[in-house]
């Protein structure tokens, strides 16, 4: 066997390393990351400043970056001789950078980068120059006029590829303001970091993001990984009613994954974390970023995080649904609210008791019968008052998913909840007609919990079943506003919108929302200029129609209900003398209705009679 040494064109390799960043703004932010790392290192040995101040000066032909932590000549040489094997990895404190390639990020910005660095008071200022196309760094002592007056570093990037003073360029003031605020928000928020951009003689301080939206998943702060309880992560999520929310993943407070929906093939891109209803951040410090921080290594920690996010997903989705409901209710008009209440009252009367109502019209939705993953707590969460005993059903397909006579071990992560059941035996002989075995886990709420306790059921090599138990005082419950003993579920909502794809359709039901087509001719006839009573009748009728259609799981009834609605409105228009502009001309000879009258003007008891027009043949 003959071994052939691998030769590397160092200058080209360095340029490639510096081009790993997503864009020029992402590359230049590396200097802020380096400043934060130096700040953390100094704090670790008791020499850190109260605030790390990073200053950017944007000029047409150069960009200047300054911050108060310098490097010695030896540290610079060490960094340059260990590219992609950073000395940072040997530090015993958490940091942002790992591979030491940020020093070459200037390749996406310009052709030359000069570092002026002063380590401490009394030290000389060193000057280090890096150039495009060169595999060497030039070291020299700075001239007196170039020397720094206090410890720190000054970086000058020249030979720019873009003019940073232009308003819409890749290094524009507006672009950098947005990137810095999003990437370094935690440090800006706790005031350990200040970033100021100078452009055209004006200073622009970077302000932390201000998100004035309802929080989601507040309980999941410093949340333990189920599979490795030595590691934690935190969710900082908000409900975004615009439907345009973006969730990012941060490492050491710096955004690594800008938008979770770009993570294809993991399922998260189709979850509630990525559908626009939620915005915010997932903070995970135990993951390992890729070079240039364009993503994370797909190792065991990464997979465990994805699994844990999937476990929390139903809880997040439930909170989002409640907030969407509240947001939709704010938009309801008085007539729409009255229509919902009127429909609820009618549909809860005896003659409609056999109908399954739309979720939110007064009856609780039926309990889910099947475990979604084959081995689950159903439901997967419960609220419990202190001192009370609670139970959660554990459901499993036996033996289809879980082997017959499987022993299930139960555990809980919080002493605020005391288990009364420690194990269960699942037997196929106890399965119902659908092959589902249901057994119950009992527990007692000992004291209030700040975050829900996690109940875990494990058996064999199956994915553990997880449930969340919150111990808190009882919430005030809403009483149903209609006949019946059952409490009402989440409120139903009503919205009027155009059905561009089917303008003749009257209505449809989507995710607890009755959608009314404002392009429909019957809607145009009754609603925009109709009386309050007419508008109320139309809205209530549509809710009733959708409830009846909901009970036909084949979907066929909806088409016929649409036809009978059209028939009803045509009949109504004729009887009330409404405009016939939208009606087709009837077939056959015209029949007219007139009242018979006697010679004395009295109307006979026969009332209306149909008369044929005279024969003009």
Q: What is the pLDDT of residue 474?
A: 63
- For residue range 212-223, what is the model confidence (pLDDT) as tens digits? 999 999 889 889
- Among 246, 244, 223, which residue's Cα sits nearest to residue 235? 223
Mean pLDDT on 591-603: 43
Please check the confidence at residue 370 and state whether its pLDDT lies above 80: yes
Same domain, 138 and 19: yes
Binning pLDDT at 50, 70 and 90, where does residue 568 land?
Answer: very high
- For residues 393 and 270, which has the higher predicted lDDT (pLDDT)? 393
- For residues 268 and 206, which has the higher predicted lDDT (pLDDT)? 206
- For residues 152 and 263, which has the higher predicted lDDT (pLDDT)? 152
Same domain, 150 and 21: yes
Same domain, 160 and 268: no
Q: What is the pLDDT of residue 396?
A: 95
Distances (CA, A) of 601 to 203, 598, 604: 93, 5, 9
Q: Does residue 169 belong to any structural domain of this protein? A: yes
Residues 6+ positions from 549 with CB-CB distance below 8 Å: 509, 557, 558, 561
> What domain range is 565 assigned to?
497-575
Which of 247, 280, 315 is at the close of a domain? 315
Give SS3 for 180.
helix
**Beta bridge pairs of residue 62:** 158
- For residue range 131-145, what is the model confidence (pLDDT) as tens digits? 988 888 899 999 999
Which of 315, 333, 355 is at the close of a domain? 315
Q: Does residue 327 belong to any structural domain of this protein? A: no
CATH code at 449?
Answer: 2.60.40.10
Q: Which of 63-77, 284-298, 350-364, 578-592 has the lowest mean pLDDT?
A: 578-592
Percent above pLDDT 90 for the chain: 44
Mean pLDDT on 468-495: 56
Give SS3 for 377.
strand
- For residues 613 and 440, which has the higher predicted lDDT (pLDDT)? 440
* Distance, CA of 42 to CA of 44 (rounded, Å): 5
Same domain, 201 and 228: no
Binning pLDDT at 50, 70 and 90, where does residue 490 land?
Answer: very low
Which of 148, 172, 205 is at the close of a domain? 205
Q: Does residue 460 belong to any structural domain of this protein? A: yes
Same domain, 72 and 93: yes
Q: What is the pLDDT of residue 175?
A: 93
Please check whether residue 381 is in contact with residue 468, taking contact to mean a CB–CB distance below 8 angstroms: yes
Same domain, 405 and 461: yes
Task: Count how many domains the chain has.
Answer: 4
| Residue recorded with tokens 């929906």 | 261
Please check the confidence at residue 10 and state whether its pLDDT lies above 80: no
CATH code at 125?
Answer: 3.30.565.10
- For residue range 150-202, what is the model confidence (pLDDT) as tens digits? 999 999 999 999 999 998 889 999 999 999 999 999 999 999 999 999 999 99
Q: Which of 311-325, 368-382, 531-545, 578-592 has the lowest mean pLDDT?
A: 578-592
Q: What is the pLDDT of residue 87?
A: 46
Q: What is the pLDDT of residue 59?
A: 96
Q: What is the pLDDT of residue 458?
A: 95
Please check the confidence at residue 390 and state whether its pLDDT lies above 80: yes
Binning pLDDT at 50, 70 and 90, where does residue 268 land?
Answer: confident
Mean pLDDT on 384-413: 93
Q: Which of 127-131, 213-217, 306-310, 361-365 has the lowest mean pLDDT?
A: 361-365
Mean pLDDT on 328-346: 80
- For residue range 316-336, what is the model confidence (pLDDT) as tens digits? 988 898 888 787 777 777 788
What are the E-state strand segments in 413-451?
A: 417-419, 423-426, 436-445
Mean pLDDT on 514-520: 93
Binning pLDDT at 50, 70 and 90, where does residue 585 land?
Answer: very low
- For residue range 222-255, what is the model confidence (pLDDT) as tens digits? 899 988 889 999 999 999 988 899 999 999 888 8
Q: Report the mean per-residue pLDDT for the chain.
A: 83
Q: Does residue 414 belong to any structural domain of this protein? A: yes
Q: What is the pLDDT of residue 367?
A: 56
Same domain, 192 and 138: yes
Q: Does residue 597 belong to any structural domain of this protein? A: no
Statement: the pTM of the whole predicted model exceeds 0.75: no
3-state percent breakdown (helix, strand, coil) of the chain, nearest 5: 30, 25, 45
- For residues 523 and 584, which has the higher predicted lDDT (pLDDT)? 523
Q: What is the pLDDT of residue 150?
A: 94
Please check the confidence at residue 596 and state whether its pLDDT lies above 60: no
Please check the confidence at residue 553 and state whether its pLDDT lies above 60: yes
Same domain, 233 and 276: yes
- Among 328, 359, 332, which residue's Cα sits nearest to residue 488? 359
Binning pLDDT at 50, 70 and 90, where does residue 361 land?
Answer: low
Please check whether residue 63 is in contact with residue 210, taking contact to mean a CB–CB distance below 8 angstroms: no
Q: Does residue 523 belong to any structural domain of this protein? A: yes
CA atoms within 13 A on the CB side of 307: 16
- Among 172, 160, 166, which residue's Cα sits nearest to residue 113? 160
Q: Does residue 341 belong to any structural domain of this protein? A: no
Tokens found for residue 514: 């009755």
Same domain, 310 and 441: no
* Distance, CA of 84 to CA of 388 (rounded, Å): 57
Mean pLDDT on 378-403: 91
Tokens found for residue 74: 């030896």
Give SS3 for 142.
coil
| Residue recorded with tokens 């890729």 | 290
Mean pLDDT on 69-77: 91
Please check the confidence at residue 89 and state whether its pLDDT lies above 90: no
**Beta bridge pairs of residue 247:** 280
Same domain, 136 and 96: yes
Q: What is the pLDDT of residue 20?
A: 73
Percent above pLDDT 70 for the chain: 83
Q: What is the pLDDT of residue 318?
A: 87
* Distance, CA of 502 to CA of 496 (rounded, Å): 14
Q: Which of 93-102, 224-233, 316-325, 500-509 has the lowest mean pLDDT?
A: 93-102
* Distance, CA of 482 to CA of 478 (rounded, Å): 12
Same domain, 446 and 551: no
**Beta bridge pairs of residue 194:** 53
Same domain, 176 and 304: no
Q: Which of 49-53, 107-111, 354-358 has the lowest mean pLDDT?
A: 354-358
């Amino acid at each position: 066997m003959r071994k052939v040494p691998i030769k590397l064109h160092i200058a080209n390799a360095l340029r490639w390393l510096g081009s790993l960043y997503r864009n020029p703004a992402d590359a230049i932010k590396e200097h802020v990351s380096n400043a934060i790392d130096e700040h953390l290192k100094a704090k670790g040995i008791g020499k850190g400043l109260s605030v790390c101040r990073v200053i950017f000066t944007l000029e047409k032909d150069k960009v200047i970056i300054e911050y108060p932590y310098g490097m010695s000549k030896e540290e610079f040489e060490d960094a340059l001789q260990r590219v992609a094997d950073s000395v940072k990895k040997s530090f015993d404190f958490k940091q942002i950078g790992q591979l030491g390639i940020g020093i070459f990020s200037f390749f996406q910005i310009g052709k030359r980068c000069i570092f002026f660095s002063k380590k401490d008071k009394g030290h000389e200022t060193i000057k280090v120059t890096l150039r495009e196309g060169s595999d060497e760094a030039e070291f020299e002592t700075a001239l007196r006029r170039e020397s720094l007056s206090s410890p720190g570093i000054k970086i000058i990037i020249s030979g720019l590829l873009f003019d940073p003073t232009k308003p819409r360029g890749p290094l524009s003031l507006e672009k950098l303001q947005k990137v810095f605020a999003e990437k370094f928000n935690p440090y800006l928020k706790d005031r350990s970091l200040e970033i100021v951009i100078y452009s055209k003689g004006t200073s622009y301080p970077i302000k932390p993001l201000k998100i004035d939206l309802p929080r989601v998943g507040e309980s999941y702060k410093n949340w333990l990984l189920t599979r490795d309880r030595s590691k934690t992560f935190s969710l900082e999520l908000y409900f975004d009613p615009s439907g345009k929310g973006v969730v990012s993943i941060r490492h050491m407070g710096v955004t690594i994954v800008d938008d979770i929906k770009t993570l294809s093939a993991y399922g998260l891109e189709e979850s509630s974390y990525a559908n626009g209803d939620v915005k915010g951040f997932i903070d995970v410090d135990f993951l390992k970023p890729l070079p240039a921080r364009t993503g994370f290594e797909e190792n065991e920690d990464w997979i465990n995080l994805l699994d844990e996010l999937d476990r929390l997903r139903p809880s997040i989705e439930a909170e989002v649904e409640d907030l969407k409901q509240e947001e939709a209710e704010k938009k309801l008009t008085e007539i729409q609210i009255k229509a919902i209440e009127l429909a609820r009252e009618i549909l809860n009367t005896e003659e409609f008791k056999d109908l399954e109502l739309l979720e939110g019209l007064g009856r609780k939705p039926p309990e889910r019968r099947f475990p979604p993953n084959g081995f689950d707590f159903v439901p997967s969460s419960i609220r419990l008052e202190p001192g009370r005993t609670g139970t959660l059903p554990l459901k499993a397909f036996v033996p289809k998913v879980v082997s017959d006579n499987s022993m299930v071990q139960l555990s809980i992560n919080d002493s605020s909840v005391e288990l009364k059941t420690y194990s269960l035996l699942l037997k196929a002989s106890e399965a119902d007609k659908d092959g589902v075995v249901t057994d119950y886990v009992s527990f007692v709420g000992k004291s209030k919990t700040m975050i829900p306790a996690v109940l875990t059921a494990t058996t064999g090599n199956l994915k553990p079943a997880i449930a969340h138990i919150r111990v808190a005082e009882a919430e005030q419950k809403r009483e149903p506003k209609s006949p019946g003993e059952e409490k009402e579920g989440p409120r139903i909502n009503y919205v009027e919108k155009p059905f561009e794809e089917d303008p003749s359709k009257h209505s449809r039901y989507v995710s607890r929302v009755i959608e009314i087509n404002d392009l429909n001719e019957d809607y145009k006839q009754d609603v925009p200029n109709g009386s309050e009573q007419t508008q109320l009748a139309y809205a209530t009728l549509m809710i009733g129609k959708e409830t009846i259609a909901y009970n036909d799981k084949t979907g066929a009834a909806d088409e016929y209900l649409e036809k009978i609605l059209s028939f009803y409105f045509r009949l109504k228009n004729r009887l009330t003398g409404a405009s016939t502009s939208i009606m087709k001309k009837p077939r056959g000879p015209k029949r007219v209705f007139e009242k018979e009258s006697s010679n004395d003007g009295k109307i006979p008891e026969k009332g209306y009679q149909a008369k044929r027009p005279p024969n003009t043949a």
